[in-house]
Chain A
Amino acid sequence: MTEVLLIVGILVAIFVGFNIGGSTTGPAFGPAVGANVITKLMAAGLMSIFFFLGAITIGPQVVETLGRELVQDPSIFTMQSNVAVLFFIGGALFIGNYAGVPASTSMTAVGAIAALGLATGELDWAVMGEIVVWWIVAPIIGFWVAGVVGRYFYPRINAWIAIEGNGGGREMITIDYSGFVPRFRFGENATRREITGAFAVVGIGCLMAFSSGTSNIANAIAPIYGTGDVDMVPLILIGCAAVAVGCFTIARRTLDTLGNDITNLPLTAAIVVAVVASAIVISLSIIGIPASFVVVATMSIIGLGWGRATRTTTLSGVRAGEETRVSVGALTAEEEGEQSPEIGEEEPEDIPKASDLFDPSTTARVILMQNVVPAISTVGAYLTFRFVPIFGF
């Protein structure tokens, strides 16, 4: 009986891993695929590899937190309850993936496990509190760091990176298998600089995949690890295999929905966001905190755009009717002592202002809605454990 349940548990864990692969490939490789730098297939392959690297190195820290520390008594991770916990995590993520509503897999998983702890009275509130505090602090850090970059450094970084998307035809980087040793093949007429840019975009995808591995492997395997029946390493291998399956299958859909939204960002912005968000997520994983990657990334995106939009100089440039391709940027424009328009010379309110794009209540709604999927998993799991009497609590 126990063995059957263990197998069912692992199967549900695989379902969770599959959905994690789906939901993280979009944000990580959306820019690279959207700019036609690599194929979806190659994105899936890279995602699988770097997710595994993150999971096997730093991942165990977070697995310990979720599997052993979040609940005071890990014996509540019976095989029955594990199947239910994982079912709620996987099911909620699946709904999110399908509807194109991004969700933090960590919030979804912590929610379901905490619900189990709450229903049985075994939740360790100190650990839970620490995690929740980081869920609030990390996105704020992401917002401010990206905001400062957007306001003061973005044009400089942009001029330095200078990558244009590749319009059509063959992807920028493909692998040539015709020779004895497979080697990279680059798009026609690609300059050295474009190739560097292409590698940068793929590189940030790999970085995000790695950071996702450090934080998200726990979401699929922590409850089963909590039983103590299976060791860490085999579980990580199974989890990563499941994630890989998700990368090659359902990720095709999320690359079109979530990936597509990220593709709206200029590649420089995608790089800035990836670096800021990944740094935060990896740091938290090292101290064993499951980070809310999607929320951190979104707040970084908002911060970057808001920082850029609230500079006043862009507008005066537009108003003065001069060449508005601000490539080297507003900072230089400011240093050169550009005159602000005379009073009365300003045009009426009709001119679109970038700051109109960042209305606090609208952004709050987006962040709030990103919590819908975790909420489904938490509430569903709590009600199940509290009122369905088959778990023996």
Chain B
Amino acid sequence: MVSRVLVPMEDSEMSDRALEYALEVYPNAEITVLHVVGEPSQMWGYATGLALADDLEQAAAEHAKPIFDRAREIVADADGDAELETHIELGNPARAIINRANDYETVVIGTHSGSVADLVFVGNVAEKVVRSAPVPVVVVR
């Protein structure tokens, strides 16, 4: 019985599906949605913008809010009574997810994100997580 599930999410359809899948397959599990902010971007504007913010934690929370709101919507739609926790990490998405995964029994992640630029600058996060995560990983497509 899997009781602690980590669902890394970003603004993409694939991660929506990952959460939907996790809710369906692990209805009684405690699900944590993880969002990584300040990931690499074309000219590094995103990360530096955060680093220059007056209050890093608050700025990170603002960036993550739409993602978490979306996640709560999905939970509400699924009529699940799953408890949803949220967590924010900074920097390199794959590394942050892998570090965090230790505390969970399973990671459920979407295959890839949308844009070419993401693929070029961030790389395929799901692939790296599959390769290096310390726990089983479910890749949703």
Residues of chain A touching chain B, judged by Cβ–Cβ distance below 8 Å, are 27, 99-102, 150, 154, 257-258, 261-266, 268-269, 294, 297-298, 301-302, 304-306, 308-309, 314, 318, 324-327, 351-354, 356-359, 361-363, 365-366, 369, 372
Interface-forming stretch among B21-29, B42-50, B66-74, B130-138?
A: B42-50
B residues less than 8 Å from A354 (CB atoms): 50-51, 56, 90
A residues less than 8 Å from B49 (CB atoms): 264-266, 269, 305
- Per DSSP, chain A at the interface is helix
CB neighbors of A among B87-101 (8 A): 88-92, 95
Cα of A106 to Cα of B45 in the assembled complex, Å: 22
Check if B55 is an interface residue, CB within 8 A of chain A. Answer: yes
A residues less than 8 Å from B77 (CB atoms): none
B residues less than 8 Å from A301 (CB atoms): 43-45, 48
Residues of chain B touching chain A, judged by Cβ–Cβ distance below 8 Å, are 38, 40-58, 60, 88-92, 95, 115-117, 120-121, 123
Q: Which residue of A lies closest to B55 (CB)?
A: A324
Asked if A302 and B48 make an inter-chain contact with CB atoms under 8 angstroms apart, the answer reads: yes
Which of A308, A314, A361, A363 is B44 in contact with, Cβ under 8 Å? A363
Q: A262-B45, A352-B89 are in contact. Are A362 and B117 (CB under 8 A)?
A: no
Which of B43, B92, B116 is A359 in contact with, Cβ under 8 Å? B92
Which of B48, B115, B120 is A372 in contact with, Cβ under 8 Å? B120
Which of A269, A298, A362 is B91 in contact with, Cβ under 8 Å? A362
Q: Which residue of A lies closest to B115 (CB)?
A: A100
The minimal Cβ–Cβ distance linking B11 to chain A, given in whole angstroms, is 13
The minimal Cβ–Cβ distance linking A259 to chain B, given in whole angstroms, is 9
Cα of A298 to Cα of B95 in the assembled complex, Å: 22
Asked if A269 and B52 make an inter-chain contact with CB atoms under 8 angstroms apart, the answer reads: yes
A residues less than 8 Å from B58 (CB atoms): 324
Q: A297-B43, A352-B57, A365-B40 are in contact. Are A357 and B50 (CB under 8 A)?
A: yes
Cα of A265 to Cα of B89 in the assembled complex, Å: 20
Asked if A305 and B48 make an inter-chain contact with CB atoms under 8 angstroms apart, the answer reads: yes
The minimal Cβ–Cβ distance linking B48 to chain A, given in whole angstroms, is 3
Which of B43, B47, B57 is A357 in contact with, Cβ under 8 Å? B47
Asked if B117 and A264 make an inter-chain contact with CB atoms under 8 angstroms apart, the answer reads: no
A residues less than 8 Å from B55 (CB atoms): 318, 324-325
Q: Which residue of A lies closest to B88 (CB)?
A: A352
B residues less than 8 Å from A357 (CB atoms): 38, 47-48, 50-51, 90-91
Asked if A265 and B40 make an inter-chain contact with CB atoms under 8 angstroms apart, the answer reads: no
B residues less than 8 Å from A365 (CB atoms): 40, 121, 123
The minimal Cβ–Cβ distance linking A315 to chain B, given in whole angstroms, is 9
Cα of A327 to Cα of B52 in the assembled complex, Å: 11
A residues less than 8 Å from B90 (CB atoms): 352-354, 356-357
Cα of A101 to Cα of B95 in the assembled complex, Å: 23
A residues less than 8 Å from B60 (CB atoms): 352
Q: Which residue of B lies closest to A268 (CB)?
A: B52
Cα of A129 to Cα of B46 in the assembled complex, Å: 33
29 contacts between A and B (CB under 8 A): A27-B43, A99-B116, A100-B42, A154-B52, A257-B42, A261-B46, A262-B43, A262-B45, A264-B49, A265-B52, A294-B43, A301-B43, A301-B48, A305-B52, A306-B48, A318-B55, A324-B58, A352-B56, A352-B57, A354-B56, A354-B90, A358-B47, A359-B91, A362-B40, A362-B91, A363-B44, A366-B40, A366-B42, A369-B121
A residues less than 8 Å from B50 (CB atoms): 264, 305, 354, 357
Asked if A101 and B120 make an inter-chain contact with CB atoms under 8 angstroms apart, the answer reads: yes
Which of A27, A265, A302, A314 is B56 in contact with, Cβ under 8 Å? A314
Q: Which residue of B lies closest to A302 (CB)?
A: B44
A residues less than 8 Å from B38 (CB atoms): 356-357
Which of A327, A351, A352, A363 is B54 in contact with, Cβ under 8 Å? A327
Asked if A318 and B43 make an inter-chain contact with CB atoms under 8 angstroms apart, the answer reads: no
Asked if B42 and A258 make an inter-chain contact with CB atoms under 8 angstroms apart, the answer reads: yes
B residues less than 8 Å from A305 (CB atoms): 44, 47-52
The minimal Cβ–Cβ distance linking B124 to chain A, given in whole angstroms, is 13
Asked if B44 and A298 make an inter-chain contact with CB atoms under 8 angstroms apart, the answer reads: yes
Cα of A262 to Cα of B49 in the assembled complex, Å: 9
Cα of A127 to Cα of B89 in the assembled complex, Å: 46
B residues less than 8 Å from A318 (CB atoms): 55-57
Asked if B51 and A358 make an inter-chain contact with CB atoms under 8 angstroms apart, the answer reads: yes
User: 14 new A-B pairs (CB below 8 Å) besides A327-B54, A366-B44?
Assistant: A150-B52, A262-B43, A264-B41, A264-B48, A264-B49, A266-B52, A269-B48, A269-B52, A298-B44, A301-B48, A314-B56, A356-B91, A357-B51, A365-B123
Cα of A240 to Cα of B92 in the assembled complex, Å: 40
Q: Which residue of B lies closest to A352 (CB)?
A: B90
Cα of A249 to Cα of B95 in the assembled complex, Å: 39
B residues less than 8 Å from A304 (CB atoms): 48, 52
Asked if A366 and B48 make an inter-chain contact with CB atoms under 8 angstroms apart, the answer reads: no
Q: Which residue of B lies closest to A306 (CB)?
A: B51
Asked if B45 and A264 make an inter-chain contact with CB atoms under 8 angstroms apart, the answer reads: yes
